[in-house]
Structure 1
Amino acid sequence: MIRDSIPLEEIREGMSASYSQTITDADVKSFAGISGDHNPVHVSDEYAEKSRFGKRIAHGLMSSSFFSALFGTKLPGYGCVYTSQTLQFKYPVYIGDNLKATVTVKHIDAVKRRITFDTVCTVGKKKVITGEAEIYIPPED
């Protein structure tokens, strides 16, 4: 089995990992297809121009899904299980924005094998999504 993860015993409070991606029209349309969320504020230029946002915005859950990518590939890595996530959507993410997702270890419960993370998405210096996640790390076989 391919393993690319950090063992629970090596994880420390304050450790973090980040992922950046520029949000494209194709990303938004693909997410709409996968999720079934075809809200016109995401997929219709004409509708979105008349909305409070002035142009199309990315799905909030698409943007926050980058946290899952970080957990499963970087910190802690393969095999971990997402157990909870809170989200506060502070500002919209527009097509063309470079979104950076960052997860930071907040608390470690070694007995229960659970780690609490602060989760933040930024565009430039602006925090657009904040929250907290809990991840379970199964014991190694």
Structure 2
Amino acid sequence: MTSIENFPIYELTVGQTASYSKTLTEQDVILFAACSGDLNPVHLDKDFAATTPFGEPIAHGMWTGALVSAAIAMRLPGPGSVYRGQSISFKHPVKIGDTVTITLTVSEIKERVKLVTLDCEAHNQDGKLIAKGVAEVIAPAQKQQVAIGVLPAIVIG
């Protein structure tokens, strides 16, 4: 089993960064539609999506937002973080096969209340800015190392 470690508030510094990457699959789009209830055909119907300016299905915008959440939970500050708020602006679509890398940068620390502000950027495999924003996170007070499991395989279809 793999384990991950957090950065408690006292280990965080302004300018500190961390990244998290994931490649979008067709299964990701279907699962995101299923759990969110967003069945917009621009995400799920190749024929419909071909008639849009994108020419093919695109990811739900909040799939990228969910990657920000994963980056916070898994990288910075990591386990024990509480994701309080997010502003996000989407710049370009994400298509199946794109790899999105989220980069978090600590921009402000309010140690007394354990509140951390993170600048968030999402880029694709070509370095194109996909989304950007700012997150507010309550950082953990104590150092933790946590075991993480593996999700079971999900077969669609």
The aligned counterpart of 1:114 is: 115
Partner Cα distance (1:95, 1:82) in 2: 27
Please give the TM-score of this superposition, normalised by the length of structure 1: 0.93
State the Cα distance separating 1:6 from its structure 2 match: 1.1
CA contact (8 A) 2:7 2:140 kept: no
Query: Is structure 2 residue 135 aligned with structure 1 residue 133?
Result: yes
Mapped partners of 1:33, 1:3: distance in 2? 29
Shift of 1:35: 0.4
Please list the CA deviations of residues 10-58 of structure 1 after superposition, one character each: whole Å capped at 9, or x if unmatched. 1001111111111110010010001000100000000000011111000
Aligned-residue CA RMSD in angstroms?
A: 1.6
Match of 1:51 in 2: 52
Structure 1 residue runs of 4+, over 4 Å off? none
SS for the counterpart of 1:37 is: coil
Q: Retained in 2: the 8 A contact 1:64–1:121?
A: no
**Matched length:** 140
Deviations 1:87-116 (A, max 9, x none): 101111111111111111011111111000
- The answer for unaligned runs of 5 or more in structure 1 is none
- Indicate the SS of the match to 2:123: strand
Secondary structure in 2 aligned to 1:92?
coil
Give 2:133's aligned amino acid. Answer: G
When normalised by structure 2's length, the TM-score is 0.84
Paired position in structure 2 for 1:95: 96
In the alignment, structure 2 segments of 5+ residues that lack a partner are 143-157
State the one-letter code of the partner of 2:122. Answer: C
Question: Would you say the 8 A contact 2:29–2:44 is kept in 1?
Answer: yes
Q: How does 1:1-141 map to 2 (within 5 A)?
A: 4-123=5-124, 124-140=126-142
Residue 8 of structure 2 contacts residue 140 of structure 2 at CA under 8 Å; is this kept in 1? no
**Larger RCO (CA under 8 A, 6+ residues apart):** 2
Alpha-carbon distance in 2 for matches of 1:16, 1:76: 10
Residues 43-94 of structure 1 show CA distances to partners (whole Å, capped at 9, x for unaligned) of 0000000011111000110112111111112111111101110010111111
